[in-house]
Amino acid sequence: MPILSKEEAQALLKKVLSYSKAEACEVSLGGSEGGNIRYALNAVSTAGDIGTLGLAVSSTFGKKTGTATINEFDDASLEKVVRRSEELAQLAPPNPEYMPPLGPQTFKDAATYNDQTAAMTPEGRAELVAKSLEVTKAANLQAAGFLENSTDFRAVMNSAGLFAYNKSTDVTFSVTTRNAEGTGSGYAARGFTDVSKLDTFAATKIAAQKATGSVGARAIEPGKYTVILEPTAAAYMMENMFRFDARSADEGRSFLSKKGGGTRLGEKLLDEKVTIYSDPFNTELPSGTWTGDGLPLEKTYWFDKGVVKNLSYSRYWAEKKGVKPQPGPSNIIMEGGTQSLEEMIKSTERGILVSRLWYIRMVDPQVLALTGLTRDGTFYIENGKIKFPIKNMRFNESPVIMLNNVEALGKPERAISVESYRSYLIPPMKIRDFTFSSLSDAV
């Protein structure tokens, strides 16, 4: 079985550590099982079912570390992997940035596991897809989609006495609906810990509405417009800024670097409506409660009313700078307002509603200048109403500039980035002066 309980994992890791002769030893164990189903042109195209379990041992002498792993678990194999990591350590060059293992830590339990998601079967996945296809067949649309569920566990133990364990489940679903003529396209994506929250019928309905509504798109002149970004679009746009790394800022190669040296910690960099934090214990978006090197994760503010509140410091960089280590974000939650998307549209005199963004790439990391395109439902708003669908456009914009031009934020909801498939809690946002640079004929 690839998924071990806390007790089973602890017993196995203890046994592995008992073979160690190194000055320091860290052992980690991880397993995953799950499956997926992919469909296109209203029929299943591929599906699979995959399980893995692996053990990694890192042994250190002085500042020389060697790592070896194995996927066999008899006593001889466990001893062999420890010996091999020790041999590799003796051959390795010393790492001046090596940090000794952390001692015992206290971790709170995470809310990342759900029995029902863990119990999903190929038949269950096929049924969820069938519900999605009901919608598109009835609406005379073509669906292409993907559903994937996984159950993972990981556990670490080290020679300084640290032990940590976590188990999680995840299910993600995405669907693109298109009409036969190829003149309309819609999209929806959902991600949950608990599969009972996943309604593939309802999500496909939204995608179908976007597909039908986007037929007959008109071209408008590219330029600066007020936009309302739906959470799926906003999440992808902002994802590039979510590392908050102190080291790259100190080194002068980040949007968080200060002119003349140092970081922008404490500076007001974004509009005061912008507050972004991480919280492993958020019930809508739970995350693990510890990092790979054994640091506990707590609620952390990154931007508070537009001010840079914290940067992430690795243990090495923290020691060098004389500050406390600060793990990077375990999840991202952005505060918003109470307005619904409909209310935000209603209060817009002229603007563009963006359902989704696509193929975002970094153009200039200095200011996080990005380029990408709209897709799957772009609409012109006039006097508080959606007037007509418009052709897709390429944008050239920075999330940092964008978050200085915030007109209003709506109610946050769980949204998936279409690049990383990570989930975020992000509000829909109304942004002024968003820069579109050219038109695209793509549907």
Partner 1 sequence: MKRRNFIYLSGVGAGAMMLPNLPAFGTPIDPAEALNQVDARIKKELADVALNMAKSKGASYADIRIGRYLNQAVVTRETRVLNVANAESYGVGIRVLVNGCWGFAATNNVTKDGIAKTTERAVAVAKANAKIGGKPVQLAPQKGFGEVSWKTPIEKNAFEVPIKEKVDLLMSVNGAALAGGANFVNSTILAINEQKFFASTDGSYIDQDIHRLYPNFSVTKIDAAKGAFETRAALSSPVGMGYEYLNPVESEKVKGIVTRYKNRYDMLEDVKNATKNATEKVSSKSVEPGKYDLVLDPSHLWLTIHESVAHPTELDRVLGYEANYAGTSFLTVDKLKSGNFRFGSKNVNVVADRSQKGSLGAVGYDDEGVQPKQFDIVKDGILTNFQTIRDQAHVIGLKESQGCCYAQTWSDVQFQRMPNVSLAPGKAKLSVDDMIKGVEKGIYIVGNGSFSIDQQRYNFQFGGQLFYEIKNGKIVGMLNDVAYQATNQEFWNSCAAVCDESDYRLGGAFNDGKGQPGQSNAVSHGSSTTKFTGVNVINVKRKIG
Stretch 243-272 residues interacting with partner 1 (CB under 8 A): 243, 245, 247-248, 251-255, 257-261, 269
Q: Quick one: DSSP state of residue 167?
A: E
Q: What is the pairing mode between strands 224-229 and 276-278?
A: unpaired
| Residue closest to 327 by CA, chosen among 102, 25, 91 | 102
Rounded to a whole number of angstroms, the minimum distance from the CB of residue 338 to partner 1 is 29
Cβ closest to partner 1, residue 11 vs residue 367: 367
- Which residues from 24-63 bind partner 1, rule CB under 8 A? 35-52, 54, 56
CA distance 304 to 270: 9
Cβ closest to partner 1, residue 261 vs residue 266: 261
Cβ closest to partner 1, residue 313 vs residue 339: 313
How far is the CA of 425 from the CAs of 68, 151, 283, 362, in angstroms?
37, 22, 11, 23
CA distance 242 to 170: 21
Rounded to a whole number of angstroms, the minimum distance from the CB of residue 241 to partner 1 is 10
CA distance 81 to 87: 10
Quick check: 406 binds partner 1 (CB under 8 A)?
no
Half-sphere exposure of 169 (CA within 13 A, CB side): 19
- Which residues from 306-345 bind partner 1, rule CB under 8 A? 314
Alpha helices for 214-283 (secondary structure H): 231-238, 246-250
Considering only residues 18, 95, 116, 140, which one is a binding residue for partner 1 as defined by CB under 8 A?
95
Rounded to a whole number of angstroms, the minimum distance from the CB of residue 344 to partner 1 is 25
Q: Please give the angle made by the CA atoms of 258, 262 and 265, to the nearest 5 degrees.
A: 75
Structural tokens at position 295 = 């640091």
Q: Using DSSP, state whether 107 is helix, strand or coil.
A: coil
Which region, judged by CB under 8 A, interacts with partner 1, from 112-120, 193-201, 355-363, 377-385? 355-363
Q: Are 416 and 423 in contact (CB under 8 A)?
A: yes
Which region, judged by CB under 8 A, interacts with partner 1, from 18-26, 143-151, 163-171, 343-351? 143-151
Q: Are 52 and 154 in contact (CB under 8 A)?
A: no
Rounded to a whole number of angstroms, the minimum distance from the CB of residue 32 to partner 1 is 11
Which region, judged by CB under 8 A, interacts with partner 1, from 104-112, 173-181, 227-235, 281-289? 173-181
Which region, judged by CB under 8 A, interacts with partner 1, from 19-27, 109-117, 363-371, 378-386? 363-371
Q: Quick one: DSSP state of residue 94?
A: P
Considering only residues 117, 166, 169, 174, which one is a binding residue for partner 1 as defined by CB under 8 A?
174
Considering only residues 14, 62, 97, 224, which one is a binding residue for partner 1 as defined by CB under 8 A?
97
- All residues at 6 or more sequence positions from 263 whose CB lies less than 8 Å from its CB, including other chains: 246, 249, 250, 256, 257, 308, 311
Structural tokens at position 155 = 């556990």
Considering only residues 21, 362, 382, 387, which one is a binding residue for partner 1 as defined by CB under 8 A?
362
Quick check: 220 binds partner 1 (CB under 8 A)?
no
Cβ closest to partner 1, residue 400 vs residue 406: 400
Considering only residues 5, 21, 62, 71, which one is a binding residue for partner 1 as defined by CB under 8 A?
71
- Which residues from 364-393 bind partner 1, rule CB under 8 A? 364-367, 369, 371-373, 375, 392
Rounded to a whole number of angstroms, the minimum distance from the CB of residue 346 to partner 1 is 30
Rounded to a whole number of angstroms, the minimum distance from the CB of residue 137 to partner 1 is 10
Cβ closest to partner 1, residue 11 vs residue 362: 362
Amino acid at 166: N
Which region, judged by CB under 8 A, interacts with partner 1, from 212-220, 295-303, 381-389, 398-406? 398-406
Quick check: 404 binds partner 1 (CB under 8 A)?
yes
Q: Are 185 and 176 in contact (CB under 8 A)?
A: yes
Which region, judged by CB under 8 A, interacts with partner 1, from 85-93, 225-233, 340-348, 405-413? 85-93
Q: Are 374 and 395 in contact (CB under 8 A)?
A: yes
Q: No. of H helices and E strands in the chain?
A: 10, 19
Rounded to a whole number of angstroms, the minimum distance from the CB of residue 362 to partner 1 is 6
Cβ closest to partner 1, residue 36 vs residue 209: 36
Applying CB under 8 A, the site for partner 1 has a residue count of: 99
Q: Are 62 and 86 in contact (CB under 8 A)?
A: no
Considering only residues 27, 141, 175, 409, which one is a binding residue for partner 1 as defined by CB under 8 A?
175
CA distance 34 to 52: 10
The residue to which tokens 């695209």 are assigned: 440
Rounded to a whole number of angstroms, the minimum distance from the CB of residue 409 to partner 1 is 20
Question: H/E element holding 61?
Answer: strand 43-61
